[in-house]
Amino acid sequence: MSMRKYSGKEPIERIWDTIGYLHEQGVSEPEIGIVLGTGLNDYADRIKDPIVLPYNSIPNMESGWVSEHRGELVFGEYLGKRVIVMAGRFHYYESRNMDKAAYPTRVMAALGIKRLILTNAAGCVNTDFSMGHLMLLSDHINLSGDNPLIGRNIDELGPRFPDMTYTYSKELREKLKKQAAAEGIELYEGVYAMFSGPSFETPAEIRFARAIGADAVGMSTVPEAIVANHAGVEIIGISFLSNMAAGVLDQPISGDEVAEASLAIKDDFTRVVDLAIQL
């Protein structure tokens, strides 16, 4: 009897299986992927006549781990583009599994998206910034201690040692900032540091993050950015600064406040993502 190296399928085969199912459901050739952060899921409702697929119906993506109330992949035409939207994401803190956190992005990359718009709610570390604003990611710092590319490289998607110098497209950032400014929307630009969560950071950790150059902190986005960059997808990262990070103000941070804070920014957020699609 021959020994199998893996009990299951090769990673790339799993991705093809997922894609086969998505094709059957009518998802075809998306150009742009969007991942919606905490409190920002309503954006998916802008797509008219969408194909809506709950994650738990999608092979290799099923799981009860998405902590937000929505866990849906939404596909459709929007602003003249074929877009695929994740309403709800898999956070690293839900399973300590980077593969899980990054898997849908790998699927979107393999489906052929050219651009990925990653959004999140984040704590504001830079005291020159004020909360309630949006920040474009110029770069990130991975403080999770983990990396979704650990393990055998999927050569079909990208190289073993991908460069990360240009992860967040400078050209797209410049254009987006200009266009948003023309509509009176100020976009900060800065460095996002990922902590694993799910506990919020301590004030000492926030001082550390500031000292090493972080402007915002959060618990997501980095896994998706790493695999999208690996696959050669251009990335726009948008943080909604939902609160001042721990210790900046003399008050505790609550998850409910973070989720509710997004209501106030909804119009600007919608407009900026609309612009980002059309760049």
> Shortest distance, CB of residue 126 to ligand HPA, whole angstroms?
13
Question: Tell me, what amino acid is at 17?
Answer: D
Q: Quick one: which of 67, 100, 105 has its CA closest to 86?
A: 105
> Shortest distance, CB of residue 195 to ligand HPA, whole angstroms?
6
Distance (Å, whole) CA 220 – CA 38: 10
Binding-site member from 217, 228, 236, 273 for ligand HPA (CB under 6 A): 217
Q: Which residues make beta-bridge pairs with 36?
A: 87
Minimum CB distance to ligand HPA smaller for 164 or for 253: 253
> Shortest distance, CB of residue 37 to ligand HPA, whole angstroms?
8
> Shortest distance, CB of residue 216 to ligand HPA, whole angstroms?
8
Distance (Å, whole) CA 16 – CA 5: 19
Q: Which residues make beta-bridge pairs with 51?
A: 75
Minimum CB distance to ligand HPA smaller for 83 or for 87: 87
Binding residues for ligand HPA, total number by CB under 6 A: 13
Site for ligand HPA in 96-125 (CB under 6 A): 121-123
Considering only the stretches 52-60, 91-99, 129-137, 214-222, report the one whose residues sit in contact with ligand HPA under the rule CB under 6 A: 214-222
Site for ligand HPA in 242-271 (CB under 6 A): 242-243, 245, 253, 258
Binding-site member from 30, 76, 190, 218 for ligand HPA (CB under 6 A): 218
User: Is residue 94 classed as helix, strand or coil in its secondary structure?
Assistant: helix
Q: Quick one: which of 81, 274, 245 has its CA closest to 185?
A: 274
Site for ligand HPA in 181-200 (CB under 6 A): 200
Minimum CB distance to ligand HPA smaller for 107 or for 245: 245
Q: Taken in order 154, 159, 163, 168, is the CA torsion positive or negative?
A: negative
Site for ligand HPA in 122-181 (CB under 6 A): 122-123
Element (H, E) at 224: helix 222-230
Residue closest to ligand HPA, measured at CB: 123
Q: Are strands 134-142 and 32-36 parallel, antiparallel or unpaired?
A: unpaired
> Shortest distance, CB of residue 190 to ligand HPA, whole angstroms?
14
Considering only the stretches 89-97, 178-186, 215-223, 229-237, report the one whose residues sit in contact with ligand HPA under the rule CB under 6 A: 215-223
User: Is residue 206 classed as helix, strand or coil in its secondary structure?
Assistant: helix
Binding-site member from 139, 201, 224, 268 for ligand HPA (CB under 6 A): 201
Residues 6+ apart with CB under 8 A from 186: 133, 180
Element (H, E) at 15: helix 11-24
Question: Tell me, what amino acid is at 81?
Answer: K
Query: If you count DSSP H runs as helices and E runs as strands, how many of each does the chain have, helices first?
Result: 7, 9
Which spans of this chain sit near ligand HPA (rule: CB under 6 A)? 121-123, 200-201, 217-219, 242-243, 245, 253, 258
